[in-house]
Structure 1
């Protein structure tokens, strides 16, 4: 017989049932180990002795078997938290443009807004046709525009259009706002 010739080798393919038994054994073993690990971390052992710091009380002869008295339940609900005013950012500058024939309306609105907390205010006049009092805003000041409109009693709030500044809010007055009446 030639020593270089070998018997045909075939790969061992275990039967399906053997693979399934092995998988079930692995899953069961993993679950058991996981349960033991979880169970060992539980701290509900009532037979354990309390530590020295837990037994130090003002009673000169504490009893290890006497349970501590439980506080009586109260029927009072805790008081609700005090309401807080939301912080409103009135930091962006405001341009107030008078589009009416009422002299000093923009200055009057500016003084009113100063009392409301708007610090950077500028006034001027405008010409043009506007349907009603309007607050125009650049996209970064949309929330502040809503606050400004509320302060003045203006219902029309719109994104800024060409010709209106993009670094501040702009109020165009075509009539006396309800807040100034």
Structure 2
């Protein structure tokens, strides 16, 4: 307690935190601490965003394993450089050793000549048997054969079964050329081999001309 008389400044309670109307508070305000926290948070957020977008472009923090395939792919597309040929070495492509030879046309086989038919032997005699029933036909046929150079051994009538047409018989294979020649001469197409005839036998039948 002082000995001075009390005035208007002595009305402030002694337990109050107020130290005078003309002095600033010594205790810091709570609002200043909250602003510091917000400022630090904003700075941290800005730094995080900058690190996320800027550092990958600068190549910082990327994995070496991710860049290895890119290097391999770039190396795989590189075309090999042509090797310089040695002096005196030809650069022309070597023909394949297994190249097929040029195909030559196969020779055309010549047609097999048909065997020449044996010539008729007019020295062999011929028998004429009339099978038409017309008298004198046997002699007429014999005359036609003689005019062509043939020799008639016998002229008679046919004694076998009645015939439907004219026939020329021959006994052996060597007589076939003579029978074919007489077939063309007399116009008789039927030529028959039979062991019953020893000589070529002409039998003019019905309708013989």
**TM-score band, normalised by the shorter chain?**
0.3 to 0.5
TM-score, normalised with respect to structure 2: 0.40
Higher Cα Rg, which structure: 2
Higher relative contact order (CA 8 A, sep 6+): 1
TM-score, normalised with respect to structure 1: 0.45
